[in-house]
């Protein structure tokens, strides 16, 4: 089969399964509201949980950074792209989260790929939560290590897999807050099982950092766990983009010397570091923002209790409403758009077959009137 035939066949299959993905050209996005094709919607598909992408201090910091340091880094951090602003951000992140070192990456995907590709060798094994993010599973499956997957958030399942001896090292991989179900990993129990097997624990806390724990320090801090490898990303609670690996000195040196994703990527713009430092300050002082977010979550869950679809048991900003079939999830998403609410339908392969859903995300930028409007639209759609 030629490449052209293979491409056409794959595209036809995706369309037939109601799984076609399409990028939307957004004209305006202020976290609370979204404008598409001249139509304004209340926005419930943003990962900017604290609304910091629109915070005046964060915006002003990026502008100041661009004025002082230019629009781009101009090189890899291993050439001339690592500035004093990058160093300051790494130092503050490490101090805030209680680690010796932090290393900046251009994205969470790149950070996960870099760490797993670098550490995993043929004699090693990776034991990952079955619902871990695609960036983690992709890196694990393409590494020379043996990949095993434990039942979602089940320490007993992990313990059973770890009971089998392995010649090399063991890396246990999970998320802090899961991106599609919105539930939290039992990190203390997973850490205990990992330690019993003399393994290392990697936690991707993309959806917990900034939102949970004291000063928004995240899921690990909240559960009093310090994994050997902590990945935090800046596109959610921080409202910007990028990521960091938190680890000890030796591991950081090893990553600096050998991680191709770090060595051969242009460093993030120094101006972005300015914005991230401002966002970090807002997060550290953000108890009021987190209180508003959790109040919004509570209001939505109370109001959604009688909906006919399955509301996943999530205490996070991610509130998945499982519809089932792809076509049904798409239809419900369209009904909500007609009512002025933007909620994206999430379908396989991002979620398991038969669990297509609306991934409703709430933010501190929402007011109770926004939550109530969404609930009204959902109940109207249910009656239709």
CA-based radius of gyration for the chain? 21
Residue 212 labeled ligand binder: no
| Cβ neighbours of 260 (radius 10 Å) | 11
Q: Let me know: does 361 contact 181? Beta carbons within 8 Å.
A: no
Residue 152 labeled ligand binder: no
Q: What is the mean pLDDT of residues 56-83?
A: 96
Residue 133 designated active-site:
yes
Residue 21 labeled ligand binder: yes
Residue 108 labeled ligand binder: yes
Residue 179 designated active-site:
yes
Residue 230 has pLDDT above 90, yes or no: yes
pLDDT at 123: 96
User: How many residues appear in the chain?
Assistant: 384
The residue annotated as part of the active site, out of 86, 117, 236, 261, is 236
Partner residues linked to 229 by β-bridges = 202
Residue 287 has pLDDT above 90, yes or no: yes
Q: What is the mean pLDDT of residues 252-272?
A: 96
3-state secondary structure of 140: helix
pLDDT at 185: 98
Residue 148 labeled ligand binder: no
Q: For 291-322, how does the pLDDT look when each residue is reduced to its tens digit (9 = 90+)?
A: 999 999 999 999 999 999 999 999 999 999 99
Residue 324 labeled ligand binder: no
User: Confidence class of residue 225 from pLDDT cuts 50, 70 and 90?
Assistant: very high
pLDDT at 350: 87
Residue 117 labeled ligand binder: no
User: Confidence class of residue 103 from pLDDT cuts 50, 70 and 90?
Assistant: very high
Residue 43 labeled ligand binder: no
Residue 204 designated active-site:
yes
User: Confidence class of residue 21 from pLDDT cuts 50, 70 and 90?
Assistant: confident
pLDDT at 19: 84
Q: For 119-152, how does the pLDDT look when each residue is reduced to its tens digit (9 = 90+)?
A: 999 999 999 999 999 999 999 999 999 999 999 9
Helices (H), the chain: 3-16, 56-69, 84-97, 108-119, 134-141, 155-162, 187-196, 219-222, 249-258, 260-263, 270-284, 287-303, 326-338, 368-383
User: Confidence class of residue 227 from pLDDT cuts 50, 70 and 90?
Assistant: very high
Mean of per-residue pLDDT scores for the chain: 96
List the end-to-end C-alpha distance of the chain, in Å, as a whole number.
45
Q: What is the mean pLDDT of residues 345-374?
A: 94
User: Confidence class of residue 211 from pLDDT cuts 50, 70 and 90?
Assistant: very high
User: Confidence class of residue 219 from pLDDT cuts 50, 70 and 90?
Assistant: very high
| Residues whose CB is less than 8 angstroms from the CB of residue 51 and which lie 6 or more positions away in sequence, other chains included | 31, 32, 239, 289, 363, 364, 365
Q: What is the mean pLDDT of residues 19-31?
A: 91
Residue 226 designated active-site:
no
pLDDT at 17: 86
Q: What is the mean pLDDT of residues 271-283?
A: 98
User: Confidence class of residue 27 from pLDDT cuts 50, 70 and 90?
Assistant: very high
The residue annotated as part of the active site, out of 46, 47, 153, 326, is 47
Can you tell me which residue has the tokens 């599609």?
180
Residue 336 has pLDDT above 90, yes or no: yes
The residue annotated as part of the active site, out of 179, 265, 296, 333, is 179
Q: List the domain boundaries for the chain.
A: 20-50+286-383, 56-284
The residue annotated as part of the active site, out of 204, 205, 228, 370, is 204
Residue 43 designated active-site:
no
Q: What is the mean pLDDT of residues 338-360?
A: 93
Strand order in the sheet with 310-311: 310-311, 318-324, 356-361, 345-346
Q: 56-284 has which fold?
A: 3.40.640
Q: What is the mean pLDDT of residues 86-104?
A: 98
Q: For 178-202, how does the pLDDT look when each residue is reduced to its tens digit (9 = 90+)?
A: 999 999 999 999 999 999 999 999 9
pLDDT at 369: 97
Q: Which architecture does CATH list for 20-50+286-383? A: Alpha-Beta Complex (3.90)
| Cβ neighbours of 98 (radius 10 Å) | 12
């Amino acid at each position: 089969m030629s490449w052209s035939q293979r491409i056409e066949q794959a595209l036809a299959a995706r369309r037939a399964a109601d799984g076609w993905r399409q990028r939307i050209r957004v004209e305006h996005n202020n976290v609370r509201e979204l404008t598409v094709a001249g139509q304004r919607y209340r926005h419930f598909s943003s990962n900017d949980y604290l609304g910091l992408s629109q915070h005046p201090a964060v915006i002003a910091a990026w502008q100041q950074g661009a004025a002082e340091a230019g629009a781009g880094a101009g090189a890899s951090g291993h050439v001339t792209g690592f500035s004093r602003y990058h160093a300051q951000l790494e130092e503050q992140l490490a101090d805030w989260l209680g680690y010796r070192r932090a290393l900046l990456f251009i994205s969470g995907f790149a950070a996960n790929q870099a760490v797993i590709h670098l550490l995993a060798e043929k004699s090693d094994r990776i034991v990952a939560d079955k619902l871990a993010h695609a960036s983690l599973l992709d890196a694990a499956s393409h590494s020379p290590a043996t990949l095993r997957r434990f039942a979602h958030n089940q320490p007993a399942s992990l313990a059973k897999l770890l009971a089998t001896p392995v010649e090399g090292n063991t890396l246990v991989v999970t998320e802090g807050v899961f991106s599609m179900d919105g539930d939290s990993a039992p990190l203390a129990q997973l850490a205990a099982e990992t330690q019993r097997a003399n393994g290392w624990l990697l936690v991707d806390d993309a959806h917990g950092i900034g939102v949970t724990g004291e000063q928004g320090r995240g899921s690990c801090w909240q559960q009093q766990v310090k994994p050997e490898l902590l990945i935090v990303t800046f596109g959610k609670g921080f409202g910007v983009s990028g990521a960091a690996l938190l680890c000890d000195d030796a591991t950081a040196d090893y990553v600096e010397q050998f991680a191709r994703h770090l060595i051969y990527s242009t460093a993030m713009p120094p101006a972005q570091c300015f914005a991230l430092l401002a966002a970090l300050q807002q997060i550290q002082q953000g108890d009021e923002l987190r209180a508003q977010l959790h109040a919004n979550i509570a209001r939505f869950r109370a109001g959604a209790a009688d909906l006919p679809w399955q509301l996943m048991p999530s205490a996070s900003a991610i509130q998945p409403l499982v519809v089932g079939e792809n076509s049904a999830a798409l239809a419900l998403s369209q009904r909500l758009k007609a009512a002025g609410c933007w909620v994206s339908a999430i379908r396989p392969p991002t979620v398991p077959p038969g669990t297509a859903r609306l991934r409703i995300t709430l933010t501190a930028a929402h007011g109770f009137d926004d939550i109530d409007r969404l609930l009204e639209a959902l109940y109207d759609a249910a009656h239709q």
